[in-house]
Chains A and B, each alone.
Chain A
Amino acid sequence: MLSICETQCITRPNASASTESVCKLLLSLLVFSGLIALAFLHVGAWMVLPFAGLELVLVVLAFVVVLRHSGDYEKITFVQDQVEIEQSVLGEIKHVRFLCYWTRITLREGENGKTSLWIGSHHQEVEFGRGTMDNAQREQVASHLKRILLKTK
Chain B
Amino acid sequence: MQIKLGQNLLGANGVIAGEIRRLMEEKGIFLLNLMSSPGAGKTTLLEKTLTALKDRLRLAVIEGDVATTKDAERIARLGISVVQINTHGACHLDAAMVRDVLPAFDLDSLDLLIVENVGNLVCPAEFDLGESMKVVVLSTTEGNDKVLKYPLMFREADALLLNKIDLLPFTDFHLDELADDLGRIHPGLPRFDLSARTGEGMERWIAWLLAQVEGHRRR
A binds B: no
